[in-house]
A and B are shown apart, each in its own frame.
Chain A
């Protein structure tokens, strides 16, 4: 896979936490609308790769280009703004604000972007319908099932119309059926919106929803598309 036409490109990323190297020269690239699974054993550096790609964590060395911009050279404010506007996030658990209702949670990224409450909530409710969780809009996250909560989180991640969606073990806490439904809805919605998805997972059946996979082992990422 050549980086040409790629939306997000990372080259030779290095990141060390304390004395443990999490990334040791990892490369990555993704095209618009592409779903790429990042696989690998636990502790291999999958999540660190995702954090670097999303500009949450600054790599020790290496570069991350998004849409022609160098992420590693941007200020924290700049990267935060990027994350608010261009990126979306789904995590394994603990991501919904427990005090806010589900629809308020979905509307949150829009409101952080300065969208008016009415407008934010109507857009949120459209996305909740799309992810089949319109019926829990007024419940709190603590009052809905795991699958519903995760779909709320997906709705929240897509509500801003992000160019890249980062999903870190999005089905990790769900059973097969719920996990699959979440993956179906997520990939469908992302493909329709031409949103690129970086999908970190250790589950093959989840990775099967991707277009191609990248395996991270010992801090190095290997693009399996180039193997054959």
Chain B
């Protein structure tokens, strides 16, 4: 799901070949897990099928034939929707959120909004947990506290990222 959105987001900057897409993805998000080309191929065909991308042209040369993909309006809406939809607060969200922030920056959207929305989502859950904690017994409290501290850590990361958006935008766009 999120790989599809990421690739879509990368396409928003302009049509690209499948291989280009893989390289762009790896450069920005695939430090530890580079994308297999097969993954790109299957994702793109799914996106094609759903009408989110279209084939912009086919290049014939030596070697395999290369399709150039372009994003459709439906694709742009889909990216928009993805970005604005807060993630369900859960552990290890940072790679998804990071991807979203970068895509937002790349596509010229307001990354701050995205982070605010995510913060609101985190806080909503924290409020719930706090509420549950107040009514619950000690074991409930301890469990809730664990989740609260993790959420708080994420939230702090969100704050820090928000504070560094300008810096990140420069790095991404260079």
Contact = CB atoms under 8 A, between A and B. Distances in A.
B103 interface: no
A208 B148 contact: yes
Interface residues on B, range: 20 to 34
Contacts of A203: 152
A41 B112 CA distance: 13
A96 B3 CA distance: 56
A224 B120 contact: yes
A224 B129 CA distance: 19
Given A204-B126, A204-B155, A227 B117 contact: yes
Contacts of B151: 204
Contact of B123 (A184, A213, A217, A222): A213
B116 A227 contact: yes
B107 interface: no
A41 B163 CA distance: 8
A208 B117 contact: no
A224 B118 CA distance: 10
Contacts of B163: 41
B115 to A, nearest CB: 10
A207 interface: yes
A209 to B, nearest CB: 6
A204 B122 contact: yes
Nearest to A40: B159
Interface residues on A, range: 10 to 19
B116 A205 contact: no
Given A41-B159, A41-B163, A208 B123 contact: yes
A204 B163 CA distance: 16
Given A41-B163, A184-B134, A205 B119 contact: no
A205 B113 CA distance: 21
Contacts of B149: 205
A198 B101 CA distance: 31
A41 B156 CA distance: 11
B72 interface: no
Contact of B119 (A209, A210, A211, A224): A224
B116 to A, nearest CB: 6
Nearest to B134: A184
Interface string A27-64: 00000000000000100000000000000000000000
Given A204-B122, A208-B123, A208-B148, A215 B116 contact: yes
B109 interface: no
A228 interface: yes
B127 interface: yes
B43 interface: no
A41 B115 CA distance: 14
B56 to A, nearest CB: 36
Interface of A: 41, 184, 203-205, 207-211, 213, 215, 217, 222, 224, 227-228
* List of 9 A-B pairs having minimum Cβ-Cβ separation, nearest first: A208-B126, A224-B120, A208-B130, A204-B155, A204-B152, A208-B127, A205-B152, A227-B120, A227-B117
Given A41-B159, A209-B127, A209-B130, 4 more contacts: A207-B123, A208-B126, A213-B120, A228-B86
9 contacts: A41-B159, A205-B149, A205-B152, A208-B126, A213-B120, A213-B123, A217-B162, A224-B119, A227-B120
